[in-house]
Chain A
């Protein structure tokens, strides 16, 4: 069984959104994913980090921690903030639901994460923060199948 692990810690600034998704994609690239799989991971990470900045910390200063584990051809990504937390996770995960309609948010963040990854679990505690756990299996397609 081949294993690997990484941890990234950064301030909740929107300028770090692209930094975070590029780092996770670079880590995932050792599994030899297709461009589409890599793009799925980048998009899902971007959504989770954006949520932490806008909703977790409400644009205030905080720390976001990303951990990624690789076991064989499975990547497991955890994105953690210590922000305000989500009151009602079920409601927050409904497509088009947004707690901040005035900010032109589409309410599609969790739906995108669910669609682009194989699994998504959200844990949250009010006043303590939110943890988003996602997994994706990299199919290891042959060159002909790509």
Chain B
């Protein structure tokens, strides 16, 4: 699992690559929280387009970061057009509260 984070204006861009399961999500969670809690950004943009696997642990990870953004009066949005991943996001009901865009550029333009 590979994680890349960068700040763009008021947004923390989080790019995830590889397999997101319970094992990898524990480490990813700690890293995102450590960065976001001290960052001046209040929105999180999660780019899931380079994930090769995600199970419901990924849903838990996203739900938790959605709350972290809310606590800073910000939003969390997702960039993803991978059918498998979108299917799990949809099944979990997350897409009723979180906006989904096909790619990072569109997501950033619409936040």
Closest Cβ–Cβ distance, residue A146 to chain B (whole Å): 15
Instruction: Give the residues from 76 to 111 in chain B that come closer than 8 angstroms, CB to CB, to chain A.
Output: 84, 88, 91-93
| Residue from the list A46, A53, A103, A108 in contact with B92, Cβ < 8 A | A108
Q: With a CB–CB cut-off of 8 A, which chain B residues contact A46?
A: 21-22, 53, 55
B84 neighbours in A (Cβ, 8 Å): 36, 39
CA distance A42 to B56 in the complex (A): 12
- Can you list, as one digit per residue, whether each of A85-100 has a CB less than 8 Å from chain B (1) or not (0)? 0000000000010000
A96 to B60 alpha-carbon distance, docked (Å): 11
Among the stretches A13-21, A26-34, A66-74, A134-142, the one at the interface with B is A13-21
In this complex, the member of A53, A109, A115 whose beta carbon has the largest number of chain B beta carbons within 10 angstroms is A109
Query: What chain B residues lie within 8 Å of A43 (beta carbons)?
Result: 53, 55, 88
Name the A residues within 8 Å of B19 (CB-CB).
18
Contact B55 A50 (CB under 8 A): yes
Among candidates A42, A105, A112, residue contacting B88 with C-beta atoms closer than 8 Å: A112
**Chain A interface mostly helix, strand, loop or mixed?**
helix
CA distance A109 to B33 in the complex (A): 24
| B contact residues around A17 at 8 Å (CB) | 21-23
State which of A39, A47, A103 has its C-beta within 8 Å of the C-beta of B56. A47
Q: From residue B16, how far is it (CB to closest CB) to chain A in Å?
A: 15
The chain A residue with its CB closest to the CB of B53 is A42
The complex places the Cα of A19 from the Cα of B22 at a distance, in Å, of: 13
> What is the bound-complex CA distance between A103 and B19, given in angstroms?
20
A111 interface residue per 8 A CB criterion: yes
What residues of chain A lie closer than 8 Å to B56, measured between beta carbons?
47, 50, 105-106, 108-109, 111-112
0 or 1 for each of B29-60: is its CB under 8 Å from A? (1 = yes): 10000000000000000000000010111011
Q: A106-B63, A111-B91 are in contact. Are A14 and B55 (CB under 8 A)?
A: no
Contacts of B60 in A (CB 8 A): 103-106
User: Is there contact, CB below 8 Å, between A108 and B59?
Assistant: yes
Query: In the bound complex, do residue B29 and residue A104 qualify as a contact, i.e. CB atoms below 8 Å apart?
Result: yes
Asked if B5 is at the interface (CB within 8 A of a chain A CB), the reply is no
Q: CB distance B61 to A15 under 8 Å?
A: no
Q: Which residues of A contact B59 (CB under 8 A)?
A: 106, 108
Complex contacts, B57 vs chain A, CB 8 Å: 50, 105-106
Cα–Cα distance between A104 and B22 once the two chains are bound (Å): 11
